[in-house]
Structure 1
Amino acid sequence: MKWSEISIHTTNEAIEPISHILHEAGASGVVIEDPFELTKEREDQFGEIYQLNPDDYPEEGVIVKAYLPVNSFLGETVEAIKESINNLIIYDIDLGLNQVTISEVNEEEWATAWKKYYNPVKISEKFTIVPTWEIYEPVSSDELIIELDPGMAFGTGTHPTTVMCIQALERTVRPGDRVIDVGTGSGVLSIAAAMLGAEDVRAYDLDEVAVTSAKLNIKLNKVSKTVTISQNNLLDGVPEKSADVIVANILAEVIVRFTDDVARCVKPGGTFIASGIIQQKKDLVKEALVAAGFDIIETILMEDWVAIIAKRI
């Protein structure tokens, strides 16, 4: 089977929204080529990749790649992707060079290209993300392992926004808590919350494909009794004061539009974890949270990204 590789030369700021656009267009996941990886320090005990070829990375910006099957609709799909990416300018997202290129690859080459980018990665004090095809022995008895298959789910759990959310969940989720995961994607945050002892986790995503993928990952990690996945737009229809913790790893522009709903759905004294925020829009989100009745407890920074932990007054 022939596959088409679509490659977008863009910026770190645009990675998440472009990844979402590619996912909605039918891609099972994305490959991100970021020159930061060439200088990133790694601990060898977790098995990360070391022998990276500088020729595979851009001198500036990042390259986001995805793979689509070659069919009669491919041309229309690519044009729709380009249009959606260009529309991100409306949200003041810097697209950088915004160069889109297309090339054809064989299925065997595609599968190999996928797997070489994913290895076990320890992302927090407790959690390690492990691709399903890797054999991994826990380093300690209390280590929590999340298995993910990037070929069937949007998000591998290793992007800074996701890592910060999981670190924040570690600090806030208590046994017996009720958690809501808004825009669940691969379901990785819901899986983490369940493993931390949450009694009930509700995960929502507007994208039907994401819902299907998240359900597969929930089953794979044996947390189906705790986590319920549903197709839903943000917190529409969610009962008042129904959550101890709400987590949302989505765009800053979306977060500021539904902070009042978060305030309605989280219990007094409950926690809201917001991520997917670029540093330039940190204050915008903080102002919206304070206006909705939250105290800012902590701001976490990682690379160019921000996560905010806020408590409902």
Structure 2
Amino acid sequence: MKWSEFCIHTTNEAVEPISNILHETGASGVVIEDPLDLIKDRDTFFGEVYELNPDDYPEDGVYIKAYLPVNSHLGETVDAMKQAINNLQLYDIDLGRNQVTVSEINEEEWATAWKKYYKPVEISEKITIIPTWETYEPASDNEVIIELDPGMAFGTGTHPTTVQTIRAIEQYINNQDVVIDVGCGSGVLSIASGLLGASEVHAFDLDDVAVKSTTINAKLNNMHERITVKQNHLLSHVSMQADMIVANILAEIIIQFVGDAWKNLKPGGIFITSGIIRSKQQMVQKKLQEAGFRILDVNELQDWVSITAKKI
């Protein structure tokens, strides 16, 4: 089979929503090439990570690359991707240059080359994420390992927004907590919650690819008995009470269900939100406070903000 590479030159702010669009439109794998990776401090990585060629990276913004099978529907698929991406401007998401190129690539080269980007990475004091094909020995008995198959959906869980959320979960979760994961993606937050002590996790996502990916990754980490995965729109028709709700999605989406999060949290419950670009921080923070939440922490990593709030 022949494959086509869809490459868009855009901004860091647009990485999450565009990646989601590409997956939903049928991309078989997504690669993000960010020039910040060339200068990133990697003290938390174990051993040699990978060698990066500066010529592969833009001088500004980021490249997001998706891989599509070459067939009679390729033109329609590319047009649908472009239209969906352009529609993001309706949500005030900066697309930057928004330049798209499409090129044909060799299947054997694509099938394995992307794996060089993914190595074991220490996310927090306890959590290390490893791709399934890597052999890794824990550095200590306290280290918690999450195995992910990045080929399934939504990357390796090492994006700054995911890192922030996992660190917040680690800080605030208690043994036997009930956790709700809104927009579960690959399931990494659900898995982290289970491994860190949650007695049960309810993972929701509207995308059936995410539901399948979370289900597979939960089994891979022996968390399938604690994690219940269901296709659902945010917290619609969810009536259970949780100790913690986590959501690593766009700021514009978070503000849509702040009221539902309040209803679904027990008194004293924790609401962890991430996926918030810096310019949207005040919008989310204001919405949380209007609903009655008390802000506990605001953290920033590479222009991305996470907010931890408490139901009082």
Q: What is the TM-score when the length of structure 2 is the normalising length? A: 0.98
Distance 1:199 1:179 in 2: 8
Q: Is the 8 A contact 1:35 1:59 kept in 2?
A: yes
The alignment partner of 2:117 has SS state of: coil
Q: Is the 8 A contact 1:21 1:85 kept in 2?
A: yes
Are 2:252 and 1:253 equivalent residues in the alignment?
Answer: yes
Are 2:20 and 1:20 equivalent residues in the alignment?
Answer: yes
Q: Which runs of 5+ in 1 are unaligned?
A: none
The alignment partner of 2:14 has SS state of: helix
What is the 5 A alignment of 1:141-290?
141-239=141-239, 242-290=241-289
Deviations 1:172-205 (A, max 9, x none): 1111000000000000000000000100100000
Amino acid corresponding to residue 249 of structure 1 in structure 2: N
- Alignment match, 1:62: 62
- Alignment match, 2:110: 110
The alignment partner of 1:84 has SS state of: helix
> What is the CA-CA distance between 1:48 and the residue it aligns to?
4.8
- Alignment match, 1:119: 119
The alignment partner of 1:42 has SS state of: coil
Q: Is the 8 A contact 2:15 2:64 kept in 1?
A: yes
Distance 1:58 1:91 in 2: 25
- Alignment match, 1:99: 99
> What is the CA-CA distance between 1:45 and the residue it aligns to?
5.6
What is the aligned residue count? 312
Change (3 A) 1:312 1:29: farther
Question: Which shows bigger deviation, 65-74 or 184-193?
Answer: 65-74
- Alignment match, 2:41: 41
The alignment partner of 1:13 has SS state of: coil
Q: Is the 8 A contact 2:44 2:122 kept in 1?
A: no
Change (3 A) 1:48 1:251: farther
Amino acid corresponding to residue 307 of structure 2 in structure 1: I
Q: Is the 8 A contact 1:168 1:309 kept in 2?
A: yes
Change (3 A) 1:84 1:199: same
The alignment partner of 2:102 has SS state of: strand
- Alignment match, 1:85: 85
Q: What is the TM-score when the length of structure 1 is the normalising length? A: 0.98
> What is the CA-CA distance between 1:71 and the residue it aligns to?
1.2
Q: Is the 8 A contact 1:28 1:154 kept in 2?
A: no
Deviations 1:247-303 (A, max 9, x none): 000000011111000001011110000000000000000000001110000001101
Question: Over aligned residues, Cα RMSD in angstroms?
Answer: 1.1
Change (3 A) 1:43 1:265: same
After the TM superposition, list the runs of 4 or more consecutive aligned residues in structure 1 that deviate by more than 2 angstroms.
Answer: 47-51
Change (3 A) 1:169 1:279: same
> What is the CA-CA distance between 1:43 and the residue it aligns to?
2.5
Distance 1:153 1:278 in 2: 22
> What is the CA-CA distance between 1:66 and the residue it aligns to?
1.1
Distance 2:45 2:228 in 1: 34
Amino acid corresponding to residue 196 of structure 1 in structure 2: L
Q: Which runs of 5+ in 2 are unaligned?
A: none
Distance 1:159 1:236 in 2: 27
Amino acid corresponding to residue 273 of structure 1 in structure 2: I
> What is the CA-CA distance between 1:105 and the residue it aligns to?
1.3
Distance 2:65 2:292 in 1: 40
Q: Is the 8 A contact 2:261 2:271 kept in 1?
A: yes
Question: Which shows bigger deviation, 174-183 or 151-160?
Answer: 151-160
Deviations 1:8-64 (A, max 9, x none): 100000000000000101124311100001111213761353421110110010000
The alignment partner of 1:129 has SS state of: strand
Distance 1:108 1:10 in 2: 27
The alignment partner of 1:52 has SS state of: coil
Q: Is the 8 A contact 1:153 1:217 kept in 2?
A: no
> What is the CA-CA distance between 1:153 and the residue it aligns to?
2.3
